Amino acid sequence: MFVVVTLIVGAVGSAAQKIETGFLDRSVIVNGNEYRYVVYVPREFTRSRKWPVILALHGGGDYGSDGLKHTASGLANAIRRNPERFPVIVVFPQAKADGTPGWQREGGQAALAGLDKMLKDFNGDANRIVLTGYSAGGNGTWSIASRYPTRFAAIVHICSFVAAFKGKTSGIDYPSLAPTDVSDVYKFVAERVAKIPIWIFHGDADQSVDVVESRKMTAALKSLGANVQYTELPGVDHNGATNTAYANADLIEWMLKQRRR
């Protein structure tokens, strides 16, 4: 009897310690609202060390509450194609299709709440968090980084904008990221994120978000002596820029090397 009980207890203990990996469904509650999100955990994950983290914000075409469709493209697809490049925990929040400018409002709060929960659940390294986003998610990246600049080791923007903008897919009106009495929104945002390493991508054939947005932000950052890289993609359109950037092995390697100063 003693042997049988010991075996049973041992089996239960082993099951309790089993580590899930891959794309995992999660949720958080913000202001009484549930936000579903996905966490990617690499196969080689172990709790014996801290892990770098990427917080990835989707574009305006993926607003919703299903917790899934925003992982059907972009960075999630890059991970599926080349998982060996991503020894990192990745958080994929989803902003609701509620007519608000996504990450500038409660969606941004939910993204940070999911990030904080992941840091605890998967031993994420708070000093190695990279924030990235494309299109409306790039707008959210500028928005969140400008409000919480000390949280991030680096930021990556793909075909994004900071000036007032009406979403081509969602029809949502995105306010400028600067107060109405500020004449230069690019300088306003740049001053708040200038101490963070930044890499910006934009296709010059983008018909959804004018490439001028990224050119102006890059110029504003360079005028402040910021550590900024700008990659303009010749002949590449809006969706193409997202796929091209996240398929860039040099970008992923750069992201994983960043550490908060």
Q: Is there a domain that residue 7 lies in?
A: no
Identify the pLDDT of residue 227: 98
Q: Is there a domain that residue 27 lies in?
A: yes
CATH number of the CATH domain containing 59 = 3.40.50.1820
Identify the pLDDT of residue 168: 82
User: How far is 80 from 86, CA to CA, in rounded Å?
Assistant: 10
Cα torsion through 150, 76, 115, 68, rounded to 10? 140
Identify the pLDDT of residue 7: 43
Q: Is there a domain that residue 190 lies in?
A: yes
Average pLDDT, the chain: 93
User: How far is 102 from 58, CA to CA, in rounded Å?
Assistant: 10
Which residues of the chain fall short of a pLDDT of 50?
Answer: 1-16
Identify the pLDDT of residue 170: 81
Which long-range contacts link 26-30 to residues 24+ away (Cβ below 8 Å)?
26/114, 26/117, 26/118, 27/67, 28/110, 28/113, 28/114, 28/117, 30/106, 30/109, 30/110, 30/113
185-212: pLDDT as tens digits: 999 999 999 999 999 999 999 999 999 9
* Residue in the block written with tokens 């009980």: 5
Could you tell me which residues are beta bridge partners of residue 229? 199
User: How far is 227 from 254, CA to CA, in rounded Å?
Assistant: 13
- Give the count of domains, the chain: 1
Identify the pLDDT of residue 26: 96
18-49: pLDDT as tens digits: 788 999 999 999 999 999 999 999 999 999 99
DSSP 73: S
Q: Is there a domain that residue 221 lies in?
A: yes
Determine the structural domain holding residue 166 and report its residue range: 20-257
Identify the pLDDT of residue 2: 41
